[in-house]
Amino acid sequence: MIRIGIAGYGNLGKGVEAAVHNSPDMELAVIFTRRDPASVSPKTPGVRVASFDSIAEYADKVDVVVNCGGSATDLPVTTPKIAALFNVLDSFDTHAKIPQHFAKVDDAAKSGGHIAIISVGWDPGMFSLNRMYMNAILPNGSDYTFWGRGVSQGHSDAIRRIDGVVDARQYTVPVEEAVARVRAGENPTLTTREKHTRECYVVAEEGADKARIENEIKTMPNYFADYDTTVYFISMDELREKHMGIPHGGSVIRSGCTGWDLTTKHTIEYSLKLESNPEFTGSVLAAYARAAYRMRQNGESGCKTVFDVAPAQLMQESGEALRAHLL
Amino acid sequence: MIRIGIAGYGNLGKGVEAAVHNSPDMELAVIFTRRDPASVSPKTPGVRVASFDSIAEYADKVDVVVNCGGSATDLPVTTPKIAALFNVLDSFDTHAKIPQHFAKVDDAAKSGGHIAIISVGWDPGMFSLNRMYMNAILPNGSDYTFWGRGVSQGHSDAIRRIDGVVDARQYTVPVEEAVARVRAGENPTLTTREKHTRECYVVAEEGADKARIENEIKTMPNYFADYDTTVYFISMDELREKHMGIPHGGSVIRSGCTGWDLTTKHTIEYSLKLESNPEFTGSVLAAYARAAYRMRQNGESGCKTVFDVAPAQLMQESGEALRAHLL
């Protein structure tokens, strides 16, 4: 049994817990939290909840720690710290800062003789992996990533910070016409606005100036200004009834050419339809936790990404069984 | 430069040649053939064409041989033979015989200190790889593979062997309704007949009994009897005009559940639309030839499959560049 530790028990931590519960070769050994451990009620019967500050005491009780903190301020600090003590995974998703995060985690993991796998999930993660395979096998071409229809936590948070907003959900929606043109192999040049639209469901305070809120949303730089954005004001009841899920998904599509003169066309598409973003991400993390455990058993150490993990490492079955049944 | 040898200069060999031509880090060193070398006219200017029997003389002139023979009788003999002398790839596709082919090639590759990667292409190959990733990250679920719309060489050959048939093309066609049910996450149980239909375009000899030919096709065991098959008799001119391409493709779809009680649904789909099956397969083989070369440089040896190759090995770029741009 691979003994898993979870650091952080939010939506993602709960997703990892469920994935471990449904993996016959894994057991959840401990949950680390920054909150009062007595206030955390895990689903897993009898599992220990410990303070994050006591994590070093568990070095011989846990094989892999799945770090479920946030990318903005938590993971850059905690993943290197954990990597010095344990094999560790995270889902660090600030694309621009991956190189510096990698370097720090690599130093820590090597010093401790552990495996760390960063940026595991679906984007970065399975989408990155598919972009790479598509680029490798169709080197002459263009790829496109569409996200949604799904809830963007960051955009929902941005709306909530506006004065007069009680709660909000933002859906990122791919523009169907753009997706169809890419699928047809047209290789179009698409602006930000042509690829996605944004739908906002907003609960406003009583008496709030809705026109001002709508304008503040639609003109918000980086988040909404470059998109066609639609704002719907709804009641808290409607938000609770229709918008409590965390669905997401999207597609990576590459069209490219082969042949001596590059005149033969091909299209590759990888797509996800997810009812729960954190549960799916948790399930991807659990599979890569198995790989981290095995790579360490093979004597490897240091920081890795999904690019460095041979696919067979993700599976419980032996190479022989995999070749006989999945190849 | 990675020096590539191609064994067998049919459609697949030509596909590999084009992929090598379009890979800046590869050069085609030699084509091995069983025909009279003087009768072979490669596209690559100045490339040497040598008899397959003289292959051992090229041990220090070639880094990786891509073996483009057929799975039925050629690859089981030639891939082990080549593996003793060179790093080698093939696209062996007789699923049931992969374990025994692997064992033979593994012995030969280890004895020669080489890397062999077998069953590289799209099925087996990219489809197998995607089945594995999907199974790893959604262990509770079902997957489905649909092929087509595309030309099946084996089924076209089977029709050509019927008395009175001059030429024929067979298209494998996925049943749209079945694909839609799988995409919707219904997890249906589907018979062979419910998943694919078969369309046959047949040129008959003048005066041949078309009713008999049609009946022989439709009742042919293994190939057609279990499918809804449509037969169209056409002229040789129409066959030449409309059916000379070798398009193919298909989809691997897995729908599965996550969450503590496995009540949250997700669907993953990987799909290919290929204008030329051999050119695409050749392009996949070229990418894995790069991986074979690198794995050997890292000191590895023995037989591998796509399951054993870390994705970053397929790419020219360094790990650092890949993390910065593709993750």
A259 contacts B279? CB cut-off 8 A: yes
ipTM for the complex shown? 0.95
Q: Which of A135, A267, A305 sits opposite B327 (nearest CB)?
A: A305
Return the residue matching tokens 């990318």.
Answer: A71
Segment B232-242, tens digit of pLDDT? 999 999 999 99
- Is residue A54 helix, strand or coil? helix
Output the pLDDT for position B240: 97
Percent pLDDT > 70 in chain B is 100
A324 part of contact set with chain B, CB < 8 Å = yes
Facing residue for B260 by CB, picked from A18, A315, A322:
A18
B321 touches chain A (CB under 8 A): no
Whether A99 sits inside 8 A of B324 (CB atoms) is: yes
| Number of Cα atoms under 13 Å in the Cβ half of residue A207 | 0
> Pairing relation of β-strands B64-67 and B165-174?
unpaired
Find the farthest-apart pair of alpha carbons in chain A and give their distance in angstroms, rounded. Answer: 67
Write the CA distances from A155 to A15, A160, A197, B161, integer angstroms: 21, 9, 12, 63
What is the gyration radius of the CA atoms in chain B, in angstroms? 22
Under the banding of pLDDT at 50, 70 and 90, the label for residue B65 is very high
Q: Which residues fall within 8 angstroms of residue B36, CB to CB, at 6 or more apart?
A: none
- Calculate mean pLDDT across residues A12-33: 98
Residues 197-226 of B with CB under 8 A from A: none
Q: B interface mutation test: which of A95, A258, A304, A316 has the most B CBs within 10 A?
A: A258
Measured distance CA(A278)–CA(A245) in Å, rounded: 10
Q: Which tens digit of pLDDT belongs to each residue from B7-34?
A: 999 999 999 999 999 999 999 999 999 9
pLDDT of residue B72: 87
pLDDT of residue A72: 87
Say what angle helices A126-137 and B277-297 make with each other, to 10 degrees: 110
Q: What is the DSSP letter of A276?
A: B
DSSP code of residue A314: G
Would you say residue A276 has pLDDT above 90?
yes
Write the pLDDT tens digit of every residue in A282-301. 999 999 999 999 999 999 99
Residues in chain B closer than 8 A to A271 (CB atoms): 268-269
String of DSSP letters for A58-86: GTTT-SEEEE---TTTTHHHHHHHHHTTS
Q: Cα–Cα distance between B112 and B84 in angstroms, integer?
A: 5
Whether the pLDDT of residue B77 is over 90: the answer is yes
If we measure between CA atoms, which residue out of B3, B13, B34 comes closest to residue A260? B13
Does B231 score more than 90 pLDDT?
yes
As a whole number, the mean pLDDT across chain A is 97
SS3 B12: helix
| A-chain residue closest to B91, CA distance | A327
pLDDT of res. A175:
98
Cα four-point dihedral sign A306, A309, A310, A312: negative
Rounded average pLDDT over B126-140: 97
